Amino acid sequence: MENASRDNAPTPSGAWDTSRLKAGHEVWRLTPTEQDRARLWSAAGRPGREPDPVWEALRSRIRTGLDAFGFALVRQLFPAGPVADIHQEADVTERVSRLVRDFGEIVPQNGAGDVTQVLRRREGDPDEIAFHCDTCDLLVLLCLRPAARGGATRVAGAPYIHDVLAAERPDVLELLGQKWYFDRAGRAGSQLVHTPILTTGPDSTVTCYYQSRTVRASAGRDGRPPLDAARAEALDVLDEVLNRPETAYPVTLTSGDLLIIRNSRVMHGRSPFTDGPEPHHRRVLRLWLDEVAP
């Protein structure tokens, strides 16, 4: 694998823009060798597996990326052939689940209790998914098959957004630090989340929780106050900052790529995409983890 370097890590506040992210790619983007991929595939296929030195090294590198930038990308964790074979999805899911359990407990993603989901285009889905945070500590995405065109996962760091708003619109930053309602009826976990969108802890760490559509739809429901003009503008300003080219970085996944995002540090969305003909549609395996300390 590539050697990691912290020379291009984020600033002390944890803030990064897309130029700093590109410069620090050796920290958050990891590339196993073909030999390592084959070994990881084999090791992950053994229930009750013994610790594998290749996975132990990769796991340490992933944690470095999560700590420095809030996400980590492993290019082709497994050999691309088995991953792209729809008949092997159950096997791939089990192998990935065994590996990522080292980062935390796999938790349900919906009210039905599903702990894994394969994301693909469904009737009525929006063409583009706005920036948001999933309601878990770590989001895990494994690309089974990419779209024919588009479909990049866009990432944006909360500390950088905080710094931009502090400089440009401190009034908006103050509002985003107040509590907002997120009505998640029918989904896993708490059905109503009442929390700030951007907040700074005692140690100056900036954290986030945001769902662009949900927060707007939740206002005025079940006796809750509607959005006033100031709060509506604050959300519009946040979305504008999120979609700036220097804020949002597109990560294009290919078959076998593993992306892990810490939701308290990084917001994510998805760009529009065009599918190929059946059965060559975009398919991405998703898991949610509640994080455990290393």
Question: In the prediction, which pLDDT does 292 show?
Answer: 77
pLDDT in tens, 76-123: 999 888 888 888 999 999 999 999 999 999 999 988 889 999 998 887
Question: In the prediction, which pLDDT does 127 show?
Answer: 85
pLDDT in tens, 148-185: 899 999 999 999 999 999 999 999 999 999 999 999 87
Tokens of 225: 């106050």
Residue 38: pLDDT over 60: yes
- Of the candidates 137, 150, 114, 161, which has an alpha carbon nearest to the alpha carbon of residue 14? 161
Domain boundaries, the chain: 18-150+250-291, 157-242
Mean pLDDT of 128-140: 95
pLDDT in tens, 181-218: 999 875 655 678 999 999 998 888 999 999 999 999 99
Q: Diameter of the chain by CA atoms?
A: 59
* Helix axes of 89-100 and 34-44: crossing angle, nearest 10 degrees: 90
For residue 222, name the pLDDT band (cuts at 50, 70, 90). Answer: confident
**pTM score, whole prediction:** 0.93
Q: What is the CATH number of domain 18-150+250-291?
A: 3.60.130.10
